Homo-oligomer: A and B are copies of this chain.
Amino acid sequence: MPVKESEILEAVRGDDVPQMQVDALIALVGDMELHGRDRSDPMREIPARIGDRWSLLLLLLLRIGSFRHATLKRLVAATSAEGEISQRMLTLRLRTLERDGLIDRTVTPSIPPRVDYAITGLGLSLLERVESLMDWVRENNPAIRASRDRFDALGED
């Protein structure tokens, strides 16, 4: 029996866990890709990008059109509720998105240089799934806020 499997049996021992659930837990481990093999696994990093401060906004902007580095910086400042993005983070996030194949970077050698960023097909298809997630949040925003209010009210006693 695999090590992980015996770990699961050990983990639930003493609790009254139905065999069906034990099987489901084992299946969860069996498909390691479900939660990612390690922290550099796309299965972990893509959701992390969606959750970080700037990547998603950059993808949303680049879905509208291709923009230059400096233009993108100004557009972030104009569209984000959180203010400006530092030049450093703009470069870092764009590099990571490019590395994962979600956006393209095109350099036009000239003086001054010109660099354009564009979303890729891969990036577009990712945005579709993320939109579905964002739709869920929009729909359930009131429920989440209500739950938070209830939770916070209890702590004030």
Q: A residues within 8 Å of B by Cβ?
A: 4, 7-8, 10-12, 15, 17-18, 21, 24-25, 28-29, 32-39, 41-43, 46-53, 56-57, 60-61, 64-65, 67-68, 71, 74-75, 77-82, 98-101, 122, 125-126, 129-130, 132-138, 140-141, 143-148, 151-152
Main secondary structure of the interface of A (DSSP, over half): helix
The answer to whether B141 touches A136 (Cβ under 8 A) is no
Q: Given B10, B28, B100, which contacts A74 in the complex, CB threshold below 8 Å?
A: B10
**CB-nearest residue of chain B to A147:** B101
Q: Given B4, B65, B126, which contacts A18 in the complex, CB threshold below 8 Å?
A: B65
Contacts of A79 in B (CB 8 A): 4, 8, 25, 28-29, 35
The answer to whether A99 touches B151 (Cβ under 8 A) is yes
**Which of A36, A68, A81, A145 gathers the greatest number of chain B CB atoms within 10 Å?**
A81
A147, B81: Cα distance in complex, Å? 32
The answer to whether B134 touches A34 (Cβ under 8 A) is yes
The answer to whether B65 touches A17 (Cβ under 8 A) is yes
